[in-house]
Chains A and B, each alone.
Chain A
């Protein structure tokens, strides 16, 4: 039988690792072990492995391992091979069992294994998920004093409970039989219809040896006093949790428990009185079921109990809707409406938040949130800074203008000065020219005069 995923595999009961580990086909031992209470608290040496991890062996690799950790089996890298995987897996399990019952942490393991830490982490998570390490053998609910007593009761009367549960629980798939079951008196086996058809029984048994027993006509209608007493006790302790009530009341389905409870003479009173209480619980449970719905379908087929919780009001095809319808019938229409509305709004909030977280990094998210709050402040600061900058620019421009003006004035003064000098030069040059001219005319005059004088001299000389 292929190893099923732990979530989908029936009751996930605990089997101790002893040499007499029961196979699924040995019905008697399985039945008796199924009803044995987990007395592991006293027995420290026995390591408990859940039944859905029965495939584990030290030297072999099962299909579910190949499926869950394909990186070791796809021969993409030379060192991530099956042998390496077995080294990791066996070391982790051995380390856990050496220190049992202390839980082993991932850091303990990764410090002692020679490998990259992410491969170790994947193998570690895989083993933890399948209960091969850190499996707590006690059930998740904390046992009340009253629960222990009932567990003691159950252990003290195994034969009767075995017989009664044999009527209900199939030895093959450990699920509660519904419509019909097949009983083999020779070997005291009870199989549900599916297992019978599949042939899920021991080799030596012939199919003809099974007798079909219709459960629908069994002693459903007749409630013994003991059963009623158990029912009342269960309801008093568990209130509205009909699953727990049904498990406490041996041999009755939830539907039966509820209908019987309602039928009790004071049942009506209970239902009416605790209406307010019911409404809150109904709200919680509806929200829980709605969350289950949004959370994914991995819980949907988790136990056949849900399938059986049929009510005449609801369509039995969707188990969760059936549960919701049943609870709303219990709580009353107005209350159910209010609860549903509240659940829907809560759901939408959760979705919105999940979206927000999914779309961005938490870091980026924080940055966005911070910046959104301070956006007006920063804008204002930015505007202030800008105006300051502009003012400074203007000041600088003014200063530069002044400087330029001063320089220009200086230059102009110098030019004026030079012009004056130039003028002076011209004047003096002109004067010089005039004087030159005068001199020249004077020279000419003198020359003419001397010529005249010489000429007259010559004439005088000639006369005498």
Chain B
């Protein structure tokens, strides 16, 4: 891990999740024999591969799914893991990126909407701890919300990490000889990131502008069963 602190250009870093634990978000959506199994959780890619089958078997047993699901679940997890591992040897440029992370998820009866800034360069960041603290602070009673929040954050970080690998590769191909300042500009131009210098210069203040206040505030809604049913029906219609 590189030492943080220098402003401007950072050297390329080997691809990994920009968090303390290098965990992969895994999403499952399997349909077979008239049953649909949707799930999302985080996986540690350094665990031995037999864990995948063990997990699949245990999940099928616990949820009483037909045993055809075991191989499908295992295959899906394996393919997502191998996608992740395919990225692992490559370089990524993280640059000076502070990105907004958005949460917009519904878990059972709880609806969470939130937006906050996340430092992509901080390789010690911990989405799990953030999720735990968020649920505790907001007084969320449903224990299934925490993992969903952590998963959503990880997914977005994963997407951005992949994009930075792709952009690093592009910039390397297009500008073979030139290095240095170009990368900084490339990352800044990516659009999502915010310019630290502009944000924290002495002309502007650190305090957020009033119009941004309610965008960055977490909102927790507790829905009734009818609302949940209505939302689910709408989602299914969208999916079709």
Known: A114-B128, A114-B150, A116-B44. A108 touches B20 (CB 8 A): no
Separation in Å of the B91 CB from the closest CB of chain A? Answer: 23
Write out the residue numbers on chain A whose beta carbons fall within 8 Å of the beta carbon of B132.
114
Write out the residue numbers on chain B whose beta carbons fall within 8 Å of the beta carbon of A119.
44
B44, A114: Cβ atoms closer than 8 Å: no
Could you say which of A77, A105, A118 contacts B43, with CB atoms under 8 Å apart? A118
B23, A114: Cβ atoms closer than 8 Å: no
Which residue of chain B is the closest to A113 with respect to CB atoms?
B147
B23, A116: Cβ atoms closer than 8 Å: yes
Interface residues of B in 1-37 (CB under 8 A from A): 20-21, 23
Q: Does B63 contact A (CB under 8 A)?
A: yes
Write out the residue numbers on chain A whose beta carbons fall within 8 Å of the beta carbon of B21.
77, 79-80, 116
Interface residues of B in 120-174 (CB under 8 A from A): 124, 126, 128-129, 131-132, 143-144, 146-147, 149-150
Could you say which of A80, A105, A112 contacts B143, with CB atoms under 8 Å apart? A112
Known: A112-B143, A114-B147, A114-B150. A79 touches B20 (CB 8 A): yes
Write out the residue numbers on chain B whose beta carbons fall within 8 Å of the beta carbon of A114.
128, 131-132, 146-147, 149-150
Q: Does A106 contact B (CB under 8 A)?
A: yes
Separation in Å of the A250 CB from the closest CB of chain B? Answer: 41
Q: Tell me the interface secondary structure of chain B in the complex.
A: helix
B144, A118: Cβ atoms closer than 8 Å: no
B54, A121: Cβ atoms closer than 8 Å: yes
A to B contact number (C-beta, < 8 Å) = 62
Q: Does A333 contact B (CB under 8 A)?
A: no
Q: Give Cα A108 to B124, complex, Å.
A: 29
Q: Give Cα A49 to B143, complex, Å.
A: 26
Q: Give Cα A272 to B99, complex, Å.
A: 85
Which residue of chain B is the closest to A117 with respect to CB atoms?
B41
Q: Does B42 contact A (CB under 8 A)?
A: yes
Known: A114-B147, A117-B42, A119-B44. A105 touches B128 (CB 8 A): no
Could you say which of A77, A115, A121 contacts B51, with CB atoms under 8 Å apart? A121
Interface residues of A in 64-107 (CB under 8 A from B): 77-80, 105-107
B58, A121: Cβ atoms closer than 8 Å: yes
Which residue of chain A is the closest to B63 with respect to CB atoms?
A107
Which A residues lie at the B interface, using CB under 8 A?
77-80, 105-108, 110-119, 121
Q: 4 extra interchain contacts, Cβ-Cβ under 8 A, other than A114-B146, A121-B51?
A: A79-B21, A111-B147, A112-B144, A117-B41
17 contacts across the A-B interface (CB closer than 8 A): A77-B21, A78-B20, A79-B21, A105-B62, A106-B58, A106-B62, A108-B62, A111-B147, A112-B143, A115-B42, A115-B128, A116-B42, A118-B47, A118-B51, A118-B55, A121-B51, A121-B58
The 5 closest A-B pairs by CB, nearest first: A112-B143, A107-B62, A105-B62, A114-B146, A116-B44
Which B residues lie at the A interface, using CB under 8 A?
20-21, 23, 41-44, 47, 51, 54-55, 58-59, 61-63, 124, 126, 128-129, 131-132, 143-144, 146-147, 149-150
